């Protein structure tokens, strides 16, 4: 305890270090709430919530009737076509991530399908956006899929040809089947839709998500462009068994008013055209708005400050020869190192936590006030991001201190610490091509920034899942473990060296 107390007294009696810690916290807050991002999202901005509580996109064209009790719907999808935006002019359309614009405008351009264009049959708890559903569909490039309740996605045959599709409801279970010829059926999977009411809407649907692509500049990603698309499914041999009521009714579910949509019937042939998506809502280039991660853009500035202070906490002693006084007073050198690690780690955590918490909570309000859509997250995720970021700063400071103990000279140690901790993060966030950046964020201490990811990646939603949009290659705690691993290695090396070396 006397070791800890001595190191704590040392830290708190250098005013520069204490001020620097406050500055680090203030920088995170300041950069986070600085009005940089503007959007067009007013009070009406909002996303429907799915059965799992997550924000979802639920916009499609639905030709449906009611089904009470158990029953089936079968249809032969005879064609799936679509329209993509005209050849992009990257300078004209930059990703701004500013509210739901995905479903705006009409698609006019070249024929084609985005990979997740969808048409097929769908069973849904009413037509309210966000309600429970199960659908079996053909997609633009991902074959036949069973999707239900937004986050679930099961792959069926890798067909690209139109298929026969069937959904069978038995209680809460909805079985999806696919057939090439309408006589031999393969099961894709079964969706459990807990609490499904007796009467549901069943029918044909089509939708097609925003087209988006990254534009590559000379130094990797420099922007993204995109635009609305549409998909048209043509259906024949549509049959319903069970207690169906009402006639076929075409309807646009969710989405903006001006979206391309339409249904038509010609004898036994149904055509459904739609634009939008039925999927979890994502933030970023092809999604809507931003995540709370956006409020932590100032993390790197705080990181630089705490890394410098962490290094100086020991190198300042080497520079003046004060380290001899320290080691004479506390001859167990491993314990001195441990005490320094605990003090710098705890101080960094405690001083950065309020700043991080403030910027995440206030920053969201500022962004929303500026019309930027910010994805809602659970309190648990918010806690993960806030506590995680403070912990990343704390462990980074410990790592920097250990590097300082190894290198001993202030300038060399600060450079080493910045290059190994801060630089990979900045490179991955800015100039590096996505692939190289992802590897940096797997292997270097900067991997720990994964704790700032607040929304998951979904395979069934095309998006530019890059760190700048708040998506990291490792899960949060795995990324944090990478940083802790580096800190542990550096501490072990420093302990070994400090025990063996003359002071």
Partner 1 sequence: MTVQNIVVDGLRKRFGSKQALDGMSFTVDAGRVTGFIGPNGAGKSTTMRVVLGLDRPDGGTALVGGHPYRTLPRPLTELGSLLDASALQPSRTARNHLLWLAHSQGLGVRRVDEVIELTGLGSAARRRAGGFSLGMRQRLGIAAALLGDPRTLMLDEPFNGMDPEGIIWMRGFLRELAQQGRAVLVSSHLMSELQDTADHVVVAGRGRVLADTTVAQLRATISDGRVSVRTDDPNAAAALIAAGAAVVATEPGTLSVTGLPAPAIVAALNARQVVFSEVTAHRATLEEAYLELTRDAVEYRAGEVAR
- CB burial class (10 A; 0-12, 13-18, 19+) of residue 14? middle
Distance CA 237, CA 254 (A): 27
For the chain, the farthest-separated pair of C-alpha atoms sits apart, in whole angstroms, at 96
- The residues, ordered by sequence, that sit 6+ positions from 493 with a Cβ below 8 Å of its Cβ are 402, 406
Residue 336 C-beta: closest distance to partner 1, Å: 9
Distance CA 152, CA 190 (A): 11
C-beta closer to partner 1: residue 66 or 330: 330
- The one among 69, 217, 331, 475 contacting partner 1 by CB under 8 A: 331
Stretch that binds partner 1, among 222-230, 327-335, 354-362, 420-428 (CB under 8 A): 327-335
Stretch that binds partner 1, among 3-11, 389-397, 425-433, 437-445 (CB under 8 A): 3-11
- The one among 213, 244, 443, 503 contacting partner 1 by CB under 8 A: 503
Residue 11 C-beta: closest distance to partner 1, Å: 9
Residue 497 C-beta: closest distance to partner 1, Å: 13
Stretch that binds partner 1, among 239-247, 328-336, 363-371, 470-478 (CB under 8 A): 328-336
Distance CA 489, CA 487 (A): 5
C-beta closer to partner 1: residue 14 or 154: 14
| 324 sits near partner 1 (criterion: CB under 8 A) | yes
| 325 sits near partner 1 (criterion: CB under 8 A) | yes
| 317 sits near partner 1 (criterion: CB under 8 A) | yes
What single DSSP character describes residue 102? T
| 14 sits near partner 1 (criterion: CB under 8 A) | yes
Distance CA 377, CA 381 (A): 6
Burial 238-273 (b: 16+ CB within 10 A, else e): bebeeebeeeeebebbbbbeebbbebeeeeeebbbb
| 10 sits near partner 1 (criterion: CB under 8 A) | yes
Distance CA 475, CA 478 (A): 5
C-alpha closest to that of 441 among 390, 392, 503: 392
Residue 501 C-beta: closest distance to partner 1, Å: 9
C-beta closer to partner 1: residue 488 or 503: 503
Distance CA 459, CA 348 (A): 37
Stretch that binds partner 1, among 115-123, 181-189, 322-330, 447-455 (CB under 8 A): 322-330
**Contact residues for partner 1, defined by CB under 8 A:** 2-3, 5-10, 13-16, 316-317, 320-322, 324-332, 502-503
């Amino acid at each position: 305890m006397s070791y800890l107390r001595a190191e704590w007294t040392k830290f708190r009696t250098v005013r520069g270090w204490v001020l620097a810690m406050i500055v680090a916290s203030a920088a995170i807050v300041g950069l986070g709430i600085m009005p940089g991002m503007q959007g067009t999202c007013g009070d009406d901005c909002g996303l429907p919530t799915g059965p799992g509580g997550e924000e979802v996109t639920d916009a499609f064209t639905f030709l449906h009737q009611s089904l009470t009790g158990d029953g089936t719907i079968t249809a032969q999808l005879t064609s799936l076509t679509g329209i993509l935006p005209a050849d992009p002019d990257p300078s004209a359309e930059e990703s701004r991530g500013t509210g739901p614009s995905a479903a705006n405008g009409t698609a006019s351009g070249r024929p084609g399908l985005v990979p997740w264009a969808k048409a097929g049959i769908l069973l849904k708890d009413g037509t309210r956006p966000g309600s429970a559903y199960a659908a079996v569909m053909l997609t633009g490039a991902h074959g036949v899929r069973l999707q239900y309740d937004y986050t679930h996605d099961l792959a069926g045959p890798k067909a690209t040809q139109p298929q026969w599709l069937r959904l069978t409801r038995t209680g809460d279970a909805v079985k999806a089947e696919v057939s090439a010829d309408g006589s031999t059926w393969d099961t894709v999977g079964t969706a459990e839709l807990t609490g499904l009411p007796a009467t549901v809407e069943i029918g044909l649907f089509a939708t097609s998500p925003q087209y988006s692509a990254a534009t590559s500049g000379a130094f990797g990603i420099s922007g993204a462009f995109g635009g609305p698309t549409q998909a048209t499914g043509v259906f024949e041999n549509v049959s319903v068994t069970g207690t169906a009521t009402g006639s076929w009714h075409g309807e646009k579910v969710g989405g903006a008013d001006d979206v391309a949509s339409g249904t038509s019937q010609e004898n036994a042939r149904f055509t459904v055209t739609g634009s939008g998506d039925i999927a979890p809502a994502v933030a970023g280039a092809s999604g809507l708005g931003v995540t709370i991660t956006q409020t932590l853009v100032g993390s790197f500035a705080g990181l630089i400050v705490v890394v410098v202070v962490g290094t100086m906490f020991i190198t300042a002693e080497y520079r003046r020869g004060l380290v001899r006084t320290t080691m004479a007073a506390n001859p167990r050198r491993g314990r001195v190192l441990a005490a320094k690690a605990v003090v710098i780690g705890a101080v960094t955590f405690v001083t950065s936590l309020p700043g991080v918490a403030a910027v995440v909570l206030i920053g969201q309000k500022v962004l929303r006030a500026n019309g930027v859509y910010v994805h809602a997250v659970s309190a648990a995720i918010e806690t993960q991001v806030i506590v995680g970021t403070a912990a990343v700063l704390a462990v980074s400071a410990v790592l920097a201190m250990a590097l300082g103990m190894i290198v001993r000279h202030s300038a060399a140690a600060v450079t080493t610490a910045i290059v190994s901790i801060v630089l990979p993060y900045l490179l991955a966030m800015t100039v590096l091509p996505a692939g190289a950046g992802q590897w940096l964020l797997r292997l270097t201490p900067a991997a720990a920034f994964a704790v700032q990811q607040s929304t998951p990646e979904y395979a069934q939603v095309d998006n530019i899942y890059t760190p700048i949009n708040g998506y990291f290659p490792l899960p949060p705690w795995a990324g944090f473990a990478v940083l802790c691993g580096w800190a542990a290695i550096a501490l072990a090396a420093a302990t070994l060296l400090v025990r063996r070396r003359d002071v």
